């Protein structure tokens, strides 16, 4: 009995970047919706004003849609990829500044929430950079 093995003859060198952008889009949109809907209760738990959480959530929704749209185009431009990597890097830097400066009356849960989000966004940026290098 012979087993057939599928060996792709062509590779999509943008697949890693494309999938990472799509994952970033889904995570951004879903978390944006959740943060916007639960901004009041999250504000209490995290020590972040609910207005700030609502604004962040409402920004993440169209951002996720924009990422998804761009990630599903036939060609992902370098300019777009660098823009997303830059936005993600800015998110991480702003998170560090917010934590270092103590601008928000964060609870311990709020501190770790910001750390966890910054780490997740940094991972997205790193994998997107690796995916861009493959192209």
Alpha carbon distance 44, 58 (integer Å): 19
Residues 15-44: what's their mean pLDDT? 98
Between 8-12, 49-53, 73-77, 88-92, the lowest mean confidence (pLDDT) is in: 8-12
- Other beta carbons within 10 angstroms of residue 125's beta carbon come to 21
pLDDT for 6 equals 46
Alpha carbon distance 125, 57 (integer Å): 20
Per-residue pLDDT tens over the stretch 123-133: 999 999 999 99
Alpha carbon distance 85, 64 (integer Å): 14
Q: Where are the domains of the chain?
A: 15-134
Which helix (H) or strand (E) is 134 found in, with range? helix 108-134
Question: Whole-model pTM?
Answer: 0.88
pLDDT for 126 equals 98
Is the model's pLDDT at 35 over the cut of 80? yes
């Amino acid at each position: 009995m012979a087993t057939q093995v599928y060996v792709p003859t062509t590779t999509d060198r943008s697949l890693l970047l494309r999938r990472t952008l799509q994952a970033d889009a889904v995570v951004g949109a879903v978390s944006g919706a959740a943060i916007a809907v639960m901004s009041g209760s999250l504000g209490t738990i995290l020590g972040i004003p609910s207005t700030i959480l609502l604004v962040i959530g409402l920004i993440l929704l169209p951002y996720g849609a924009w990422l998804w749209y761009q990630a599903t185009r036939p060609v992902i431009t370098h300019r777009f990829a660098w823009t997303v990597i830059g936005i993600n890097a800015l998110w991480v830097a702003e998170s560090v500044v917010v934590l270092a400066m103590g601008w928000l009356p964060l609870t311990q849960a709020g501190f770790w929430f910001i750390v966890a989000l910054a780490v997740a966004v940094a991972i997205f940026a790193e994998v997107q950079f690796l995916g861009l290098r493959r192209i």
